[in-house]
Amino acid sequence: MYSYILFDLDGTISDPKTGICGSVQYALKSFGIEEPDMDKLAPFIGPPLRDSFMTYYGFTPEQAEIAVAKYRERFNATGKYENVLYPGMAELLHDLSAAGAHLAIASSKPTVFVEDILRYFGIRQYFEVVVGSELDGSREKKEDIVAEVLRQFAQRGAADPSDVVMIGDRKYDIEGAVAAGAHNIGVRYGYAALGELEEAGAEVIVKDVEGLRRVLLGSYQGQPLQQNYGPVYSGAGGQERNQGVYNSYAARYRQPKPETKGKRIGKAVGSSLLAVLVYYVVAIVVATIITLLGMMIFAGNVYLESEYYFWLNLGNGVSMIAGFVACFGIWHKEIRVRPVKKLQALSLIPMIILAAALATGMNGLLSIIELYKYSPKFQEVSQIQMDIPVWMGIVVYGILAPLGEETVFRGVVYGQLKKISNVPVAIVLSGLAFGLFHGNLVQAVYATALGIVLALVYEIYDSILAAMLFHGVANLFVYVLLDLTDFGGIFVMPFSCAFFLMISAIALALMVKWQKNE
Protein backbone atom coordinates (compact mmCIF):
# COMPACT_ATOMS: atom_id res chain seq x y z
CA MET A 1 0.00 0.00 0.00
CA TYR A 2 1.29 3.48 -0.82
CA SER A 3 2.09 5.55 2.24
CA TYR A 4 1.01 8.86 0.72
CA ILE A 5 -2.26 9.01 -1.19
CA LEU A 6 -3.50 12.18 -2.90
CA PHE A 7 -7.17 12.46 -3.87
CA ASP A 8 -8.83 14.80 -6.30
CA LEU A 9 -12.19 15.95 -4.91
CA ASP A 10 -14.75 16.54 -7.66
CA GLY A 11 -15.58 13.37 -9.57
CA THR A 12 -13.28 11.28 -7.38
CA ILE A 13 -14.50 11.59 -3.79
CA SER A 14 -17.86 13.16 -4.51
CA ASP A 15 -20.23 13.82 -7.40
CA PRO A 16 -20.57 17.63 -7.61
CA LYS A 17 -22.52 17.81 -10.88
CA THR A 18 -25.63 19.56 -9.58
CA GLY A 19 -23.73 22.20 -7.63
CA ILE A 20 -21.06 22.93 -10.24
CA CYS A 21 -23.29 22.84 -13.31
CA GLY A 22 -26.02 24.83 -11.57
CA SER A 23 -23.47 27.51 -10.66
CA VAL A 24 -22.12 27.56 -14.23
CA GLN A 25 -25.69 28.05 -15.48
CA TYR A 26 -26.02 30.97 -13.05
CA ALA A 27 -22.79 32.54 -14.32
CA LEU A 28 -23.73 32.07 -17.98
CA LYS A 29 -27.15 33.58 -17.38
CA SER A 30 -25.49 36.79 -16.19
CA PHE A 31 -24.07 37.04 -19.74
CA GLY A 32 -27.45 36.37 -21.32
CA ILE A 33 -26.61 32.74 -22.12
CA GLU A 34 -29.26 30.14 -21.28
CA GLU A 35 -27.99 26.55 -21.00
CA PRO A 36 -30.74 24.28 -19.60
CA ASP A 37 -28.88 21.03 -20.30
CA MET A 38 -26.57 20.29 -17.38
CA ASP A 39 -24.94 17.40 -19.25
CA LYS A 40 -23.40 19.92 -21.66
CA LEU A 41 -21.74 21.61 -18.69
CA ALA A 42 -20.17 18.45 -17.24
CA PRO A 43 -16.75 19.29 -18.83
CA PHE A 44 -16.53 22.16 -16.31
CA ILE A 45 -16.01 19.53 -13.58
CA GLY A 46 -12.29 19.15 -13.03
CA PRO A 47 -10.30 21.79 -14.90
CA PRO A 48 -9.80 25.41 -13.79
CA LEU A 49 -13.00 27.44 -14.28
CA ARG A 50 -11.37 30.32 -16.12
CA ASP A 51 -9.96 27.95 -18.74
CA SER A 52 -13.34 26.25 -19.14
CA PHE A 53 -15.26 29.49 -19.71
CA MET A 54 -12.73 30.52 -22.34
CA THR A 55 -12.56 27.09 -23.96
CA TYR A 56 -16.24 26.21 -24.14
CA TYR A 57 -17.85 29.65 -24.50
CA GLY A 58 -15.12 31.75 -26.07
CA PHE A 59 -14.89 34.21 -23.19
CA THR A 60 -12.05 36.67 -23.02
CA PRO A 61 -9.83 36.52 -19.92
CA GLU A 62 -11.70 39.53 -18.53
CA GLN A 63 -15.09 37.94 -19.17
CA ALA A 64 -13.90 34.66 -17.67
CA GLU A 65 -12.87 36.50 -14.52
CA ILE A 66 -16.35 38.01 -14.18
CA ALA A 67 -17.96 34.63 -14.90
CA VAL A 68 -15.90 32.97 -12.18
CA ALA A 69 -16.98 35.64 -9.69
CA LYS A 70 -20.66 35.05 -10.59
CA TYR A 71 -20.13 31.29 -10.35
CA ARG A 72 -18.70 31.60 -6.84
CA GLU A 73 -21.56 33.87 -5.82
CA ARG A 74 -23.98 30.95 -6.14
CA PHE A 75 -21.54 28.14 -5.39
CA ASN A 76 -20.48 29.58 -2.03
CA ALA A 77 -24.12 30.01 -0.95
CA THR A 78 -25.66 26.71 -2.09
CA GLY A 79 -23.69 24.98 -4.83
CA LYS A 80 -21.01 23.49 -2.63
CA TYR A 81 -23.68 21.58 -0.72
CA GLU A 82 -25.38 20.22 -3.86
CA ASN A 83 -22.93 17.39 -3.77
CA VAL A 84 -22.96 13.70 -2.77
CA LEU A 85 -20.25 11.27 -1.69
CA TYR A 86 -19.76 8.28 -3.93
CA PRO A 87 -21.03 5.11 -2.18
CA GLY A 88 -18.32 3.48 -0.10
CA MET A 89 -15.94 6.46 -0.20
CA ALA A 90 -16.26 7.46 3.47
CA GLU A 91 -15.58 3.88 4.53
CA LEU A 92 -12.55 3.66 2.22
CA LEU A 93 -11.06 6.86 3.63
CA HIS A 94 -11.64 5.60 7.17
CA ASP A 95 -9.96 2.27 6.41
CA LEU A 96 -6.99 3.86 4.62
CA SER A 97 -6.43 6.20 7.54
CA ALA A 98 -6.78 3.36 10.04
CA ALA A 99 -4.24 1.36 8.02
CA GLY A 100 -1.69 4.14 8.49
CA ALA A 101 -1.84 5.86 5.09
CA HIS A 102 -1.22 9.60 4.93
CA LEU A 103 -4.05 11.16 2.94
CA ALA A 104 -4.22 14.50 1.16
CA ILE A 105 -6.57 16.45 -1.09
CA ALA A 106 -5.19 17.95 -4.32
CA SER A 107 -8.06 19.85 -5.96
CA SER A 108 -8.39 22.64 -8.49
CA LYS A 109 -11.28 24.00 -6.43
CA PRO A 110 -10.40 26.90 -4.07
CA THR A 111 -9.10 25.57 -0.77
CA VAL A 112 -11.74 27.40 1.25
CA PHE A 113 -14.50 25.57 -0.64
CA VAL A 114 -12.69 22.23 -0.33
CA GLU A 115 -12.48 22.63 3.44
CA ASP A 116 -16.19 23.46 3.68
CA ILE A 117 -17.17 20.43 1.60
CA LEU A 118 -14.97 18.01 3.54
CA ARG A 119 -16.44 19.20 6.82
CA TYR A 120 -19.96 19.05 5.40
CA PHE A 121 -19.44 15.38 4.57
CA GLY A 122 -17.75 14.70 7.93
CA ILE A 123 -14.51 13.41 6.34
CA ARG A 124 -12.10 16.30 7.01
CA GLN A 125 -10.35 14.38 9.78
CA TYR A 126 -8.94 11.81 7.36
CA PHE A 127 -6.75 14.30 5.48
CA GLU A 128 -3.45 15.56 6.83
CA VAL A 129 -2.94 18.00 3.95
CA VAL A 130 -5.62 19.87 1.97
CA VAL A 131 -4.49 21.93 -1.00
CA GLY A 132 -6.64 23.66 -3.60
CA SER A 133 -6.38 26.73 -5.77
CA GLU A 134 -6.46 30.28 -4.47
CA LEU A 135 -9.40 32.64 -4.89
CA ASP A 136 -7.14 35.14 -6.68
CA GLY A 137 -6.59 32.67 -9.51
CA SER A 138 -3.14 31.50 -8.49
CA ARG A 139 -2.17 27.84 -8.20
CA GLU A 140 -4.92 26.57 -10.50
CA LYS A 141 -2.86 24.04 -12.46
CA LYS A 142 -2.97 20.53 -11.08
CA GLU A 143 0.80 20.07 -11.32
CA ASP A 144 1.28 23.11 -9.07
CA ILE A 145 -1.29 21.77 -6.61
CA VAL A 146 0.34 18.33 -6.46
CA ALA A 147 3.74 19.97 -6.01
CA GLU A 148 2.39 22.00 -3.07
CA VAL A 149 1.02 18.84 -1.43
CA LEU A 150 4.40 17.15 -1.80
CA ARG A 151 6.11 20.24 -0.41
CA GLN A 152 3.92 20.14 2.69
CA PHE A 153 4.56 16.44 3.13
CA ALA A 154 8.30 17.12 2.72
CA GLN A 155 8.13 19.49 5.67
CA ARG A 156 6.94 16.50 7.68
CA GLY A 157 9.88 14.41 6.54
CA ALA A 158 8.23 12.54 3.64
CA ALA A 159 8.74 13.70 0.09
CA ASP A 160 9.73 10.73 -2.08
CA PRO A 161 7.35 10.89 -5.09
CA SER A 162 7.86 7.18 -5.75
CA ASP A 163 5.93 6.50 -2.55
CA VAL A 164 3.07 8.80 -3.59
CA VAL A 165 0.00 8.04 -5.70
CA MET A 166 -2.45 10.58 -7.11
CA ILE A 167 -6.07 9.49 -7.65
CA GLY A 168 -8.36 11.41 -9.97
CA ASP A 169 -11.04 11.22 -12.64
CA ARG A 170 -9.63 13.62 -15.26
CA LYS A 171 -6.50 13.86 -17.37
CA TYR A 172 -5.40 16.87 -15.33
CA ASP A 173 -4.98 14.63 -12.27
CA ILE A 174 -2.91 12.10 -14.19
CA GLU A 175 -0.77 14.80 -15.82
CA GLY A 176 -0.24 16.51 -12.47
CA ALA A 177 1.02 13.25 -10.95
CA VAL A 178 3.29 12.54 -13.91
CA ALA A 179 4.77 16.05 -13.73
CA ALA A 180 5.60 15.49 -10.05
CA GLY A 181 7.06 12.03 -10.65
CA ALA A 182 4.34 10.37 -8.58
CA HIS A 183 2.24 7.31 -9.44
CA ASN A 184 -1.37 7.69 -10.47
CA ILE A 185 -4.73 5.92 -10.55
CA GLY A 186 -7.61 7.00 -12.76
CA VAL A 187 -11.21 6.45 -11.71
CA ARG A 188 -13.71 5.62 -14.44
CA TYR A 189 -16.80 6.61 -12.42
CA GLY A 190 -16.00 10.34 -12.67
CA TYR A 191 -16.21 12.75 -15.59
CA ALA A 192 -13.41 11.75 -17.95
CA ALA A 193 -14.30 11.33 -21.62
CA LEU A 194 -13.83 7.92 -23.18
CA GLY A 195 -10.10 7.30 -23.67
CA GLU A 196 -9.09 10.44 -21.74
CA LEU A 197 -7.42 8.63 -18.85
CA GLU A 198 -5.60 6.18 -21.14
CA GLU A 199 -4.27 8.96 -23.32
CA ALA A 200 -3.06 10.85 -20.27
CA GLY A 201 -1.00 7.82 -19.23
CA ALA A 202 -2.98 6.45 -16.29
CA GLU A 203 -1.11 3.54 -14.72
CA VAL A 204 -4.24 1.87 -13.38
CA ILE A 205 -7.90 2.64 -14.02
CA VAL A 206 -10.73 1.42 -11.79
CA LYS A 207 -14.42 1.43 -12.57
CA ASP A 208 -15.85 2.12 -9.10
CA VAL A 209 -14.97 2.80 -5.47
CA GLU A 210 -14.84 -0.91 -4.71
CA GLY A 211 -12.24 -1.30 -7.44
CA LEU A 212 -10.26 1.55 -5.91
CA ARG A 213 -10.45 -0.16 -2.52
CA ARG A 214 -9.08 -3.36 -4.05
CA VAL A 215 -6.15 -1.57 -5.64
CA LEU A 216 -5.28 0.39 -2.49
CA LEU A 217 -6.01 -2.19 0.20
CA GLY A 218 -6.43 -5.49 -1.61
CA SER A 219 -4.29 -7.59 -3.89
CA TYR A 220 -2.04 -4.67 -4.85
CA GLN A 221 -1.07 -3.97 -1.23
CA GLY A 222 2.65 -3.27 -1.04
CA GLN A 223 3.16 -3.57 -4.82
CA PRO A 224 4.07 -0.74 -7.19
CA LEU A 225 1.38 0.39 -9.61
CA GLN A 226 3.33 0.26 -12.86
CA GLN A 227 1.02 -1.61 -15.18
CA ASN A 228 -0.35 -0.17 -18.40
CA TYR A 229 -3.11 -2.18 -19.96
CA GLY A 230 -2.55 -2.31 -23.71
CA PRO A 231 -1.82 0.39 -26.31
CA VAL A 232 -3.65 3.66 -26.82
CA TYR A 233 -5.21 3.90 -30.28
CA SER A 234 -5.87 7.06 -32.23
CA GLY A 235 -7.38 7.84 -35.59
CA ALA A 236 -10.48 6.25 -37.14
CA GLY A 237 -12.12 3.80 -34.79
CA GLY A 238 -9.62 4.62 -32.06
CA GLN A 239 -12.24 5.39 -29.44
CA GLU A 240 -13.95 2.03 -29.92
CA ARG A 241 -10.64 0.17 -29.78
CA ASN A 242 -9.67 2.02 -26.62
CA GLN A 243 -12.98 0.98 -25.07
CA GLY A 244 -12.17 -2.62 -25.94
CA VAL A 245 -8.80 -2.33 -24.22
CA TYR A 246 -10.47 -0.84 -21.15
CA ASN A 247 -13.07 -3.61 -21.04
CA SER A 248 -10.36 -6.26 -21.14
CA TYR A 249 -8.54 -5.04 -18.05
CA ALA A 250 -11.58 -3.70 -16.22
CA ALA A 251 -12.83 -7.27 -16.17
CA ARG A 252 -9.86 -8.20 -14.02
CA TYR A 253 -11.11 -5.86 -11.33
CA ARG A 254 -14.82 -6.44 -11.71
CA GLN A 255 -16.39 -6.32 -8.29
CA PRO A 256 -19.74 -7.64 -7.10
CA LYS A 257 -22.64 -5.31 -7.78
CA PRO A 258 -22.81 -2.53 -5.19
CA GLU A 259 -25.26 -3.11 -2.36
CA THR A 260 -28.67 -1.56 -2.73
CA LYS A 261 -29.64 1.26 -0.41
CA GLY A 262 -32.17 -0.99 1.31
CA LYS A 263 -29.52 -3.62 1.99
CA ARG A 264 -27.09 -1.03 3.37
CA ILE A 265 -29.79 0.31 5.69
CA GLY A 266 -30.69 -3.20 6.81
CA LYS A 267 -27.05 -4.06 7.58
CA ALA A 268 -26.44 -0.82 9.48
CA VAL A 269 -29.61 -1.09 11.57
CA GLY A 270 -29.02 -4.80 12.15
CA SER A 271 -25.46 -4.22 13.36
CA SER A 272 -26.64 -1.44 15.67
CA LEU A 273 -29.38 -3.55 17.22
CA LEU A 274 -27.08 -6.54 17.55
CA ALA A 275 -24.43 -4.47 19.34
CA VAL A 276 -26.98 -3.15 21.84
CA LEU A 277 -28.40 -6.65 22.33
CA VAL A 278 -24.98 -8.22 22.88
CA TYR A 279 -24.02 -5.56 25.38
CA TYR A 280 -27.35 -5.78 27.21
CA VAL A 281 -27.46 -9.59 27.37
CA VAL A 282 -23.84 -9.94 28.45
CA ALA A 283 -24.35 -7.24 31.09
CA ILE A 284 -27.51 -8.84 32.47
CA VAL A 285 -25.97 -12.31 32.65
CA VAL A 286 -22.70 -11.22 34.26
CA ALA A 287 -24.37 -8.80 36.70
CA THR A 288 -26.84 -11.48 37.81
CA ILE A 289 -24.11 -14.05 38.37
CA ILE A 290 -21.90 -11.67 40.37
CA THR A 291 -24.82 -10.45 42.49
CA LEU A 292 -26.11 -13.94 43.31
CA LEU A 293 -22.67 -15.34 44.09
CA GLY A 294 -21.81 -12.38 46.31
CA MET A 295 -25.03 -12.66 48.27
CA MET A 296 -24.74 -16.44 48.63
CA ILE A 297 -21.10 -16.48 49.72
CA PHE A 298 -20.85 -13.39 51.91
CA ALA A 299 -24.38 -12.50 53.01
CA GLY A 300 -25.38 -15.97 54.20
CA ASN A 301 -28.86 -16.11 55.62
CA VAL A 302 -28.90 -12.46 56.65
CA TYR A 303 -30.44 -10.21 54.01
CA LEU A 304 -29.30 -6.61 54.16
CA GLU A 305 -30.45 -4.19 51.48
CA SER A 306 -27.14 -2.33 51.58
CA GLU A 307 -25.21 -5.55 50.90
CA TYR A 308 -27.52 -6.37 48.04
CA TYR A 309 -26.90 -2.94 46.49
CA PHE A 310 -23.17 -3.39 46.94
CA TRP A 311 -23.08 -6.68 45.06
CA LEU A 312 -25.53 -5.47 42.45
CA ASN A 313 -23.35 -2.45 41.64
CA LEU A 314 -20.21 -4.59 41.67
CA GLY A 315 -21.96 -6.93 39.26
CA ASN A 316 -22.91 -3.96 37.09
CA GLY A 317 -19.31 -2.81 36.98
CA VAL A 318 -17.97 -6.22 35.98
CA SER A 319 -20.77 -6.60 33.45
CA MET A 320 -19.76 -3.30 31.79
CA ILE A 321 -16.24 -4.64 31.34
CA ALA A 322 -17.60 -7.89 29.91
CA GLY A 323 -19.98 -6.03 27.59
CA PHE A 324 -17.16 -3.78 26.40
CA VAL A 325 -14.88 -6.75 25.69
CA ALA A 326 -17.61 -8.58 23.77
CA CYS A 327 -18.67 -5.60 21.65
CA PHE A 328 -15.19 -4.26 21.01
CA GLY A 329 -14.03 -7.72 20.05
CA ILE A 330 -16.76 -7.98 17.40
CA TRP A 331 -16.89 -4.39 16.08
CA HIS A 332 -13.39 -3.03 16.78
CA LYS A 333 -12.79 -2.34 13.07
CA GLU A 334 -15.81 -0.03 13.05
CA ILE A 335 -14.68 2.08 16.00
CA ARG A 336 -12.36 5.07 15.73
CA VAL A 337 -10.36 4.27 18.83
CA ARG A 338 -6.93 5.57 17.85
CA PRO A 339 -5.46 8.46 19.86
CA VAL A 340 -6.54 11.91 18.75
CA LYS A 341 -3.96 12.98 16.19
CA LYS A 342 -5.18 16.48 15.43
CA LEU A 343 -6.02 17.81 18.85
CA GLN A 344 -6.34 21.48 19.65
CA ALA A 345 -5.44 21.30 23.33
CA LEU A 346 -7.38 24.44 24.17
CA SER A 347 -10.59 22.80 22.97
CA LEU A 348 -10.36 20.31 25.85
CA ILE A 349 -11.10 23.12 28.28
CA PRO A 350 -14.55 24.01 26.89
CA MET A 351 -15.20 20.30 26.30
CA ILE A 352 -14.74 19.51 30.00
CA ILE A 353 -16.72 22.61 31.01
CA LEU A 354 -19.49 21.55 28.62
CA ALA A 355 -19.62 18.04 30.12
CA ALA A 356 -19.94 19.36 33.68
CA ALA A 357 -22.30 22.24 32.85
CA LEU A 358 -24.61 20.17 30.64
CA ALA A 359 -24.87 17.40 33.23
CA THR A 360 -25.63 19.95 35.95
CA GLY A 361 -28.09 21.97 33.90
CA MET A 362 -30.00 18.94 32.63
CA ASN A 363 -30.23 17.38 36.10
CA GLY A 364 -31.43 20.69 37.50
CA LEU A 365 -34.04 21.08 34.77
CA LEU A 366 -35.39 17.55 35.26
CA SER A 367 -35.58 18.12 39.02
CA ILE A 368 -37.36 21.47 38.65
CA ILE A 369 -40.08 20.01 36.43
CA GLU A 370 -40.28 17.03 38.83
CA LEU A 371 -40.18 14.47 36.05
CA TYR A 372 -39.08 11.85 38.57
CA LYS A 373 -42.63 11.76 39.94
CA TYR A 374 -43.73 10.05 36.75
CA SER A 375 -40.96 7.47 36.84
CA PRO A 376 -40.97 5.11 39.86
CA LYS A 377 -38.34 3.04 38.07
CA PHE A 378 -35.94 5.98 38.12
CA GLN A 379 -36.34 6.41 41.87
CA GLU A 380 -35.50 2.76 42.38
CA VAL A 381 -32.46 2.93 40.09
CA SER A 382 -31.28 6.13 41.76
CA GLN A 383 -31.38 4.54 45.21
CA ILE A 384 -29.39 1.52 43.99
CA GLN A 385 -26.74 3.74 42.42
CA MET A 386 -26.26 5.96 45.44
CA ASP A 387 -26.34 3.44 48.30
CA ILE A 388 -22.79 2.19 47.69
CA PRO A 389 -19.22 3.20 48.66
CA VAL A 390 -18.00 6.36 46.94
CA TRP A 391 -15.00 4.62 45.38
CA MET A 392 -17.28 2.09 43.73
CA GLY A 393 -19.54 4.80 42.34
CA ILE A 394 -16.55 6.64 40.88
CA VAL A 395 -15.14 3.51 39.23
CA VAL A 396 -18.46 2.16 37.95
CA TYR A 397 -20.10 5.37 36.74
CA GLY A 398 -17.05 7.50 36.01
CA ILE A 399 -14.90 4.91 34.21
CA LEU A 400 -16.63 1.63 33.38
CA ALA A 401 -19.98 2.99 32.20
CA PRO A 402 -18.36 5.39 29.69
CA LEU A 403 -16.03 2.60 28.53
CA GLY A 404 -18.84 0.21 27.65
CA GLU A 405 -21.61 2.61 26.59
CA GLU A 406 -19.41 4.73 24.31
CA THR A 407 -18.11 1.63 22.57
CA VAL A 408 -21.65 0.53 21.76
CA PHE A 409 -23.59 3.74 21.19
CA ARG A 410 -20.99 5.99 19.60
CA GLY A 411 -18.50 3.45 18.27
CA VAL A 412 -21.05 1.07 16.73
CA VAL A 413 -24.54 2.61 16.67
CA TYR A 414 -23.51 6.13 15.59
CA GLY A 415 -20.90 4.74 13.19
CA GLN A 416 -23.47 2.49 11.50
CA LEU A 417 -26.13 5.22 11.31
CA LYS A 418 -23.62 7.56 9.71
CA LYS A 419 -23.19 5.08 6.86
CA ILE A 420 -26.83 5.39 5.84
CA SER A 421 -27.59 9.05 6.67
CA ASN A 422 -25.88 12.40 7.04
CA VAL A 423 -24.04 13.44 10.19
CA PRO A 424 -26.82 15.51 11.85
CA VAL A 425 -29.41 12.76 11.41
CA ALA A 426 -27.00 10.08 12.69
CA ILE A 427 -26.20 12.23 15.74
CA VAL A 428 -29.86 12.69 16.67
CA LEU A 429 -30.86 9.06 16.04
CA SER A 430 -27.93 7.69 18.05
CA GLY A 431 -28.89 10.04 20.91
CA LEU A 432 -32.45 8.73 20.87
CA ALA A 433 -31.17 5.15 20.87
CA PHE A 434 -28.97 5.94 23.87
CA GLY A 435 -31.94 7.45 25.72
CA LEU A 436 -34.26 4.52 25.02
CA PHE A 437 -31.62 2.08 26.27
CA HIS A 438 -31.89 3.48 29.81
CA GLY A 439 -35.42 2.21 30.28
CA ASN A 440 -37.03 4.92 32.43
CA LEU A 441 -38.45 8.33 31.60
CA VAL A 442 -36.01 10.54 33.52
CA GLN A 443 -32.84 8.83 32.34
CA ALA A 444 -34.22 8.55 28.81
CA VAL A 445 -34.64 12.33 28.51
CA TYR A 446 -31.26 13.03 30.13
CA ALA A 447 -29.39 10.35 28.15
CA THR A 448 -30.90 11.49 24.84
CA ALA A 449 -29.61 15.05 25.33
CA LEU A 450 -26.24 13.78 26.57
CA GLY A 451 -26.05 11.19 23.75
CA ILE A 452 -26.53 13.83 21.05
CA VAL A 453 -23.65 15.89 22.42
CA LEU A 454 -21.49 12.77 22.87
CA ALA A 455 -21.97 11.85 19.20
CA LEU A 456 -20.97 15.40 18.26
CA VAL A 457 -17.83 15.09 20.39
CA TYR A 458 -17.00 11.76 18.74
CA GLU A 459 -17.45 13.33 15.30
CA ILE A 460 -15.39 16.44 16.01
CA TYR A 461 -12.45 14.72 17.70
CA ASP A 462 -12.60 11.58 15.54
CA SER A 463 -11.79 9.39 18.52
CA ILE A 464 -13.90 7.33 20.90
CA LEU A 465 -11.45 8.34 23.63
CA ALA A 466 -12.77 11.91 23.49
CA ALA A 467 -16.36 10.71 23.92
CA MET A 468 -15.32 8.48 26.84
CA LEU A 469 -13.60 11.40 28.55
CA PHE A 470 -16.65 13.64 28.10
CA HIS A 471 -19.01 10.93 29.38
CA GLY A 472 -16.82 10.24 32.40
CA VAL A 473 -16.60 13.92 33.39
CA ALA A 474 -20.38 14.33 33.09
CA ASN A 475 -21.09 11.24 35.22
CA LEU A 476 -18.54 12.10 37.89
CA PHE A 477 -19.70 15.70 38.19
CA VAL A 478 -23.27 14.60 38.80
CA TYR A 479 -22.32 11.73 41.12
CA VAL A 480 -19.78 13.56 43.27
CA LEU A 481 -20.95 17.17 43.30
CA LEU A 482 -24.72 16.91 43.05
CA ASP A 483 -25.44 13.73 44.95
CA LEU A 484 -22.67 13.43 47.53
CA THR A 485 -22.29 17.01 48.75
CA ASP A 486 -24.48 19.02 51.13
CA PHE A 487 -24.69 21.98 48.75
CA GLY A 488 -25.75 19.98 45.69
CA GLY A 489 -29.28 21.33 46.04
CA ILE A 490 -28.27 24.83 44.99
CA PHE A 491 -27.57 23.51 41.50
CA VAL A 492 -31.20 22.55 40.94
CA MET A 493 -32.59 26.02 41.49
CA PRO A 494 -34.16 27.72 38.41
CA PHE A 495 -31.52 30.46 38.21
CA SER A 496 -28.56 28.10 38.53
CA CYS A 497 -30.16 25.68 36.07
CA ALA A 498 -30.53 28.43 33.45
CA PHE A 499 -26.99 29.60 34.15
CA PHE A 500 -25.45 26.18 33.58
CA LEU A 501 -27.43 25.59 30.40
CA MET A 502 -26.21 28.96 29.10
CA ILE A 503 -22.63 28.00 30.02
CA SER A 504 -23.21 24.74 28.12
CA ALA A 505 -24.16 26.61 24.95
CA ILE A 506 -21.11 28.88 25.16
CA ALA A 507 -18.75 25.98 25.88
CA LEU A 508 -20.21 23.98 22.99
CA ALA A 509 -19.60 26.84 20.56
CA LEU A 510 -16.02 27.30 21.76
CA MET A 511 -15.30 23.57 21.65
CA VAL A 512 -16.50 23.27 18.06
CA LYS A 513 -14.71 26.42 16.94
CA TRP A 514 -11.36 25.70 18.58
CA GLN A 515 -11.16 22.04 17.62
CA LYS A 516 -12.29 22.56 14.01
CA ASN A 517 -9.83 25.44 13.60
CA GLU A 518 -6.96 23.19 14.56
Active-site positions read: 8
H helices of 156-302, in order, are 171-180, 196-200, 209-217, 238-250, 261-294
* Separation between Cα atoms, residue 305 and residue 383, nearest integer Å: 11
Nearest CA among 142, 147, 71, 174 for reference residue 113: 71
Largest CA distance in the chain: 97
Pairing of strands 102-110, 183-187: unpaired
DSSP 206-232: ESSHHHHHHHHHSTTTTS------S--
The set of residues, in sequence order, having a beta carbon less than 8 Å from that of 122 and lying 6+ positions away, is 90, 418, 422, 423, 459
The set of residues, in sequence order, having a beta carbon less than 8 Å from that of 148 and lying 6+ positions away, is 131, 139
* Separation between Cα atoms, residue 94 and residue 114, nearest integer Å: 18
Q: Are 407 and 328 in contact (CB under 8 A)?
A: yes
Nearest CA among 111, 106, 82 for reference residue 24: 82
* Separation between Cα atoms, residue 433 and residue 320, nearest integer Å: 18
